[in-house]
Each structure stands twice: as structure tokens, then as C-alpha cells.
Structure 1
Amino acid sequence: MGKRILVAFDGTDQSVDALEYAAAEWPDAELTLLYVIDPAEAGLSAGRGVPSGAEEWYERTKASAEATLADGAALVDREVGTATEVGKPSEAIVEYAGGGDVDLVVIGSHGRRGISRMVLGSVAEEVVRASPVPVTVVR
């Protein structure tokens, strides 16, 4: 069985770089693109109920995620799997990677430094710290 690689993919330049790197570096690996829908983007939080319009927001966001994943899959000249999860991005990526079907996570990094990194956090850094499998960060 070949290597199974999870690529965190949200359509940003950094995630495109990560996908292209993974495809080039491991040409025989099985690639899965993962898009994480973050409810915090809609102002949703656990335990507060579903605000008006949340279902519509989710459906629009899920459709957008599927389109983004299709665009990503079209960037590489081979078949790739896709998946969508809901949650905090770093936690969802780590949880998916821990499911047993992933040998490596490849993720792009914005390369923020200083105060912007402290304020905004770093999904890539959180994944590196918590992942049960090796992680390659592409800059």
C-alpha cells in the first residue's frame, strides 16, 4: 500500500502550494484534500443554539467548500479524494489525521511573524504540535 497524504486545502495560495508540493514530492501517494468549515466564521459557537440564518450559511459554505475542493483536485494530474469537516480548523485536521487512514499531513503556512502570529494564531503550528502523524509545512 502506498503513502496516504492529507492536504489541508482551502483554496488559498498557501494551500495550492501545499497541494502542488505534495503531488510533486510523492507522485505515487494517495492524496486527500480536506476543507474545514469553521463555524466561528459565521459567529456560531457551541452551546448557544442556532442563530437565524445558520442553516443557510452552512449550506452556502458547504457548496463553496465543494467547489473549492473540485478546483483543487483539478490542479493535479491524477485522482484525489476530498473531504469536508466542520470545526476549528487545526482540531479538525488533527482529528481527521488521527482516523488511521493518513500517513502524512501537508499544510501551507502564511509565514506570519510577531504580533500578527500571536493574535491570529497559526493553524499549521497547532497541527504540527498535535498531529498523531508527521506534518510537512509548505511556505
Structure 2
Amino acid sequence: MEPTILVAFDESPQATAALRHALSTYDDAEIHVLHVNDPREWSTGDGLDGFFYSEAAFEQSKESAESLLEEAEDIAQEYDTTVTTASQVGMVAETIVDYAEEHDIDHIVLGSHGRRGISRFLLGSVAERVARRSPGSVTIIREKNPVDDQ
């Protein structure tokens, strides 16, 4: 039976590297590509009255997600394969894990932004939270940032 792989995909170079890794490493797998549309990116809040929801920002984020998933399909074609794509709204790490559980995913591949120090502490690490909660194994791909080399 072929394994089922989930690749978390966003606009980052790390996510593209994760997808390319999955496509080149698991050529016999069924590969799912998931984009998570985080509501914190298209809503604002002041903490007093809750969050302000912008319909226009949400529609723009949906269009962006569709474009990203088309890009993932184009990358998969470079490897002579097809992928199953999905876009969901939610908190990123939790949505990735929930998707993996609901779709019997054997393995998750995702990129890490490689934040360090206070930035990592304040922002948290999606990759770390996914690795802790995942129902299966996780591969974290970290593409080197050219700025890190300077």
C-alpha cells in the first residue's frame, strides 16, 4: 500500500523546498498539499471588542490560496505526478494535524522558517507544534536563508 504524505504549503521558500522534498523522496506516495488560511491574517482586533472581520481581505486570501495551490500543482507536474490539494481556514498547526488525522496521513512534510531566540519564543513554531501533535511521523525542511550566511 502506498503511503499518504501531507505537505503544508504557503508562499515561503521553505514550503516550496518541503514540497520538492516530498515529491522527490516519496515518488510512490499519494501526496496531499494543504494551505491553511489563518484568520489572523485577514482580521484585526484591539482586544476590547474582539476581532474585526474584513470580507474583502478574506476573499483576497482565498484567491491567494487558490493561486498557491495551482503553483503546487505546477511543481508536481515537474515531477510527473499529481497532488491532491486543499485549502482550509484555521489556526495553522492545529489545522494541519486535524487534516492529517481526518485523511489518514502517514507522514507530514513541512518547512520551518528557522526563527531563533525571542522571535521564535514570541511567534511560536508551527513546525514544532505539528511535530508534537502529529498522528504520524514528521519531516521538517529548513531551506537556508541567504541572510543567515552573511
TM-score (ref. length: structure 1): 0.90
Give, in angstroms, the shift of residue 51 of structure 1: 3.6
Does residue 86 (structure 1) correspond to residue 86 (structure 2)? The answer is no
* Uncovered stretches (5+) of structure 1, i.e. residues with no partner: none
Who is 1:31 aligned against? 31
Residue identity in the other structure for 2:8: A
Q: Is the 8 A contact 1:11 1:72 kept in 2?
A: no
The CA distance in 2 between the partners of 1:30 and 1:49, in whole Å, is: 41
Q: Match for 1:30: what amino acid? A: E
Deviation, structure 1 residue 98 = 0.9
Once the 2 structures are TM-superposed, how far is the Cα of residue 101 of structure 1 from its aligned partner? 2.6
Please identify the structure whose Cα radius of gyration is greater.
2
- The percent of aligned pairs where both chains have the same amino acid is 46
Q: Distance in 1 between matches of 2:112 and 2:51?
A: 32
Asked whether the 8 Å contact 2:42–2:61 carries over to 1, the reply is no
Aligned pair count? 136
Structure 1 SS opposite 2:109: strand
Contact 1:90 1:127 in 2 (8 A): yes
| Partner in structure 1 of residue 58 of structure 2 | 58
Cα distance, 1:50–1:122 mapped onto 2, change above 3 Å: closer
Counterpart residue type for residue 97 of structure 2:
V
Matched, 1:116 2:119: yes
Selected match of 1:99 from 96, 99, 102: 102
Q: In angstroms, what is the RMSD of aligned CA positions?
A: 1.7
Superposed CA offset, 1:27-61 (max 9, x none): 1111111000000112357xx78746x22222211
Q: TM-score, normalised by structure 2?
A: 0.84
Distance 2:106 2:89 in 1: 22
Aligned to 2:10: 10
Which position in structure 1 is the counterpart of 2:41? 41
* 1:137 aligned partner: 140
